[in-house]
Amino acid sequence: MNLNTQILFAAILGVVFGFLLNAFPETAFVEHSLYGLGILSSIFIGLLKMLLIPLIFSSIVVGVSNLQAGGQFGRVWKITVLCCLTTTTLALILGLACAHLFEVGKGVDIAMFQTQMQNHQTPDTLTPASFLTNFIQNTLINPFKAFSDGNVLAVVIFALLVGAALVKGGDKFAQVRSISHQFFEIMMLLVGWVMKLAPLGIFALLAKLLATEDISVLSRLAEFALVVTGTTIFHGLVVLPTLLWIFGRMDPITFFKGTRAALITAFATSSSSATMPLSMKCAQENLGVRPQIVGFVVPIGTQLNMDGTALYEAAAALFIANLMGLDLSITQQIIVCLVAMIASLGAPGIPSAGMVTMIMVLQSVGLPAEAIAILLPIDRLLDTVRTVVNVQGDMMISVVVDRHASESTTDQG
């Protein structure tokens, strides 16, 4: 059985085992199983997190210096940003449209959630302006602090600068360039080793998630959960593959076959950052994207491109407004979209990050931040699917960028 198939089976077994554990709570067997699953998942996630920062740093440095040396950096950068903005905008429009179409939250009694909202500690106000200031203050910092804190965005920016400096220095820095390259290859080798553990890790993560979630709360918010999940899946199965087909000239079957391991890992970990090493490996080895493109686009996309999160935040804002019996004007809906876009750019790729930035979206149109208390109980479950689409978008963009950047080289040649 190849690794891809093992991962698929592990995910299915994990879901089944998790449901069984959930059905028989409070027995010694369940307790021991949860302990064992906890250890297994911590080892898997821990190893991925261990590789994340060195991998991001080395891959961007190598990617930028190779791209710049080949005269492609400007083009790659522009296509990446264009792709991120296009797919996120489509996700936002889709989120709002479906929330309108299915009138999520209309007719639901808000009183049902009163205690939840009262007991919820609202974090400090988060306005787009303060968010942006924080964003800047947190990114231009001492790189050693950024490395040790695991501050992905700050590491990305530092790596971009070092990559550019390496090219500027030319032959003078040839040694550092080759060391960075070798270091990057060592990291990818380690990713390969960690991937061997992926079936076990994914089994444990999914079983634990389903065993510990209170699945019954889903029923109260079933309609909203279904609409958001359905729309996110539509974005992942129809919108993104269509764009990939048109602009990347890759058929969806090849794409999904090649990226299955990363997509299932995203589902199980609910973290695009933790999945990043696998996304890079899949894009490079199974989709044939050139290493310098993968090394640049995937780490940047992991931080900045989150279609699933953007879609969720737009739909959730409308859901809360409907619950409260408020009609958001067109201008307010545009504000929701813009703020949700900023929120998805700034959200780190970790579980439930979208919930935190959601506060900003709600407050931007005067909705109460406490209302996220309504969504919190089901967030971990919804997070699984939106993270898959976030990760899918990053790998898809790397294919499109690779295609267009290489076309430009061919044209020039």
Binding site for ligand ASP (CB under 6 A): 270-272, 306, 309, 347, 349-354, 383, 386-387, 390
Give the nearest distance from C-beta 115 to ligand ASP in angstroms.
25
Q: In this structure, are residues 72 and 401 in contact, taking their beta carbons and an 8 Å threshold?
A: no
Q: In this structure, are residues 110 and 324 in contact, taking their beta carbons and an 8 Å threshold?
A: yes
Angle at 54 (CA atoms; ends 49, 58), nearest 5 degrees: 140
Give the nearest distance from C-beta 59 to ligand ASP in angstroms.
18
CA pair distance 346, 365, nearest whole angstrom: 19
Q: Which residue is nearest to ligand ASP (CB)?
A: 354
Q: Tell me which residue of 323, 343, 321 sits closest to 390, measured CA to CA.
A: 343
Beta-carbon contacts of residue 59 (< 8 Å; ≥ 6 apart): 184, 187, 280, 294, 295, 296, 298, 299
**CB-wise, 61 or 154, nearer to ligand ASP?**
154
**CB-wise, 163 or 346, nearer to ligand ASP?**
346
**CB-wise, 62 or 99, nearer to ligand ASP?**
99
**CB-wise, 143 or 150, nearer to ligand ASP?**
150
Q: Tell me which residue of 83, 112, 385 sits closest to 264, measured CA to CA.
A: 385
Give the nearest distance from C-beta 382 to ligand ASP in angstroms.
9
Give the nearest distance from C-beta 351 to ligand ASP in angstroms.
5
**CB-wise, 89 or 352, nearer to ligand ASP?**
352
**CB-wise, 66 or 309, nearer to ligand ASP?**
309
Q: In this structure, are residues 108 and 323 in contact, taking their beta carbons and an 8 Å threshold?
A: yes
**CB-wise, 18 or 349, nearer to ligand ASP?**
349
CA pair distance 63, 401, nearest whole angstrom: 13
Q: In this structure, are residues 269 and 205 in contact, taking their beta carbons and an 8 Å threshold?
A: yes
Give the nearest distance from C-beta 265 to ligand ASP in angstroms.
11
DSSP code for 102 = T
